[in-house]
Amino acid sequence: MPVQRREVIVLGAGLTGLSAGLELAGAGKEVLVLEEGPRVGGLAASFEHRGFHLDLGPHRYHSQSLPLLEQAADLLGEDLLRCHMQTSLSYAGHEYLYPLSLRDVLSKVDKVEAARMVADFLRTRLRPGSPPRSFADWVVSRYGRRLYDSFFCGYTAKVWGVDPSLLDASWAEQRIASKGLVDTIAKMLAPWWARRHGQSIHSPYEPEFLYSARGMGLLAERLAERMQARGGELELGSRVSALRPRRGGILVRCGQRDYLARRVISTLPLTTLAALLGFRHMPALRYRGILFLYALADTTAVLKKHWIYYQDREVLFNRVTDFHHFTPALAPRGRSALCFELTADPGEPAWDMSAEQLAARVLPQFERIRPGFSATVDEVLLRKVGHGYPVLHLGYREELERTMRRFSEVEGLHLAGRNGTFSYINMDHCLEQGRVLARRLAASG
């Protein structure tokens, strides 16, 4: 078959890819978005099943950028919902308000242990140390070994499948800071220290967020509709098998079709992209997989919160989301769905389980936490995402720099998005990143 030409091909129809596609189509560029899966949205996709609208875990849209908030509200239109986030954290038999409340925590923490944590925290802050290399170093150097062992070590090891001492300190800087958990604990245990140093390391907590009455995947669906209305093309179920640099562009092989694009925007995982380009040396970078187990039940308002984090290492799941709390419109009347999130990689026992096998392990644990729920469940579903989170292991930054230099040698190739840049960014950042890149490409001719 003859080679088809396009000005720009976007690999991946997640929020970043669709945002770029919309901007390019609006600028009059010939743009084609190729998506391997059956629907748009990537990790921010939704799917329907027997009257349920289900997200891949909870997705709340929030931003400190007014234009990005206005864009999302415009896209969602009449389906827009404004929610006030209600979440909590379960640890050692207690459920804490999240973000942590001083009064709430003090009413539940053992007073002797709290005093020991205060003493350990103060000793740590008064003792100078070397710059932290690992996640464990970062937390211990700021808040002490007891706080680390209680609130961070087990949960982090459960999520990532490795000892926290093997994760880069930048992960703590990014995620603990944005959640504000450590800062809250620090103020709880030693408020005089926070007052004295004026210390606030985290971004502002944003309790209000935007959502949709049909699941957050509607945001991506509306982006795709607008892109196509402006002349952009979208092909679902289109798996790219190879990328080859050619004079005048990049050859994109997709099934029985070959495209030649002047520019290619990739939002694919870096390891996948390297394989498509035929790199001899694969990047020593890793992504953590996510399992989403859905329990469909003849009951409502199980958690009475949007989601709960489960810190205890012996609990298999990391987080449970109650979609009914977002809006009852996501389920048939009188029914609801819980989503249990677990992390695992292909080849691990949990990854190879069926929905029923995984539920046989998960639901009995949850039954001890919420008695009576299991009896209301009449169906379970399982979705797997192999490239869920970038793993920021020790030494990843040097490897990432080497990998990016190698990709920069491919003329016409541009990387964007969460997987495409190996970064943990939120939905609004995905939209902005795609838009900014597209505008730059459109302006360059």
Taking residues 95-120, what's their average pLDDT? 78
Domain interval for residue 183: 101-197
* Residues 159 and 124 sit within 8 Å (Cβ to Cβ): no
pLDDT at 197 over 60: no
Q: Which of 167, 197, 227 is the last residue of a domain?
A: 197
- The answer as to whether 131 is a domain residue is yes
Are residues 111 and 250 both part of a single domain? no
* pLDDT at residue 81 is higher than 60: yes
Q: Measure the CA–CA gap between 371 and 334, rounded to whole angstroms.
A: 19
Band of the pLDDT at 189, cuts 50, 70, 90?
very low
**H-helix or E-strand spanning residue 210:** strand 208-212
Q: Do residues 186 and 255 both lie within one domain?
A: no
What pLDDT, on a 0 to 100 scale, did the predictor assign at position 438?
98
Burial of 66 (0-12, 13-18, 19+ CB in 10 A): exposed
CB-side neighbour CA atoms (13 Å) of 436: 10
Residues 144 and 180 occupy one common structural domain: yes
Structure-model confidence comparison of residues 90 and 201, the more confident one: 90
> Confidence band (pLDDT; 50, 70, 90) for 148?
confident
What sign has the CA pseudo-torsion 374, 380, 386, 388? negative
Least confident piece of the model among 55-59, 121-125, 141-145, 201-205 = 201-205
Q: 260 and 231, same structural domain?
A: yes
Q: Give dist(CA 265, CA 20) in Å, integer.
A: 8
- pLDDT tens for each residue of 368-415: 999 999 999 999 999 999 999 999 999 999 999 999 999 999 999 999
Task: Indicate the length of the chain as a whole number.
Answer: 445
CB 35 within 8 A of CB 234: yes
Q: What is the mean pLDDT of the chain?
A: 90
Residue 96: predicted pLDDT? 86
Give the residue among 425, 37, 42 at the shortest CA–CA distance from 216. Answer: 42
Residue-wise pLDDT tens digits, 109-124: 888 877 887 788 788 8
Helices 66-76 and 218-229: crossing angle, nearest 10°?
A: 80
pLDDT band at residue 192 using 50, 70 and 90 as cut-offs = very low
Whether the per-residue pLDDT at 244 is higher than 50: the answer is yes
Residue (of 384, 314, 333) closest to 157 by Cα position: 314
Percent of the chain, pLDDT > 90? Answer: 76
Instruction: Output the pLDDT for position 123.
Output: 83
pLDDT at residue 103 in the model: 66
Which of these three, 197, 224, 256, is where a domain ends? 197
- What sign does the CA torsion over 424, 426, 428, 430 have? positive
**Span between the terminal Cα atoms of the chain, in Å:** 29
Task: Assess whether 107 and 248 both reside in one domain.
Answer: no
Q: Is 130 in the same domain as 162? A: yes
Q: Does residue 401 lie in a domain region? A: yes
- Of the listed ranges 54-58, 92-96, 305-309, 409-413, the least confidently predicted one is 92-96
Residue closest to 80 by CA, chosen among 210, 226, 222, 269: 210
Total domain count, the chain: 2
Residue 75 lies in a domain: no
190 plus 252 within the same structural domain: no
Instruction: State the maximum Cα–Cα separation within the chain, in Å, rounded to a whole number.
Output: 76
Q: Which amino acid is at 104?
A: D
Give domain status of residue 376, yes or no.
no
Say if residue 277 is in the same domain as residue 406.
yes
| 106 and 158 belong to one structural domain | yes
Task: Classify residue 256 by burial, with Cβ atoms within 10 Å: 0-12, 13-18, 19+.
Answer: exposed
pLDDT digits (tens, 9 = 90+) for 311-355: 999 999 999 999 999 999 999 999 999 999 999 999 999 999 999
Ranges assigned E (strand) in 92-190: 94-98
Please report the sign of the dihedral spanned by the C-alpha atoms of residue 321, residue 326, residue 329, residue 333: positive
Residue 106 has a pLDDT of 67
What would the two tokens of residue 241 be? 């098998």
Q: With the C-alpha atoms ordered 129, 130, 131, 135, is the resulting torsion angle positive or negative? A: negative
Query: How far is it, in rounded angstroms, from Cα 257 to Cα 35?
Result: 14
Q: Does residue 76 lie in a domain region?
A: no
For residues 256, 260, 266, 270, the Cα torsion angle rounded to the nearest 10 degrees is 70
Instruction: Please tell me the number of Cα atoms within 13 Å of 261 on its side-chain side.
Output: 27
Whether residue 414 is contained in a domain is answered as yes
pLDDT tops 80 at residue 205: no
- Do residues 191 and 224 share a domain? no
Is 415 part of a structural domain of the chain?
A: yes
| Same domain flag for 116 and 186 | yes
Q: Is residue 324 part of a domain?
A: no
* 144 lies in the same domain as 227: no
* Structural domain ending residue among the three candidates 137, 168, 197: 197
Q: Pairing relation of β-strands 413-415 and 257-266?
A: parallel
pTM of the model: 0.91
Taking 60 as the threshold, does the pLDDT of residue 304 lie above it? Answer: yes
More confident residue, 122 or 216: 216
Q: What does the pLDDT average to over 207-219?
A: 95
**CATH number of domain containing 254:** 3.50.50.60
At which residue do the structure tokens 């603990």 appear? 176
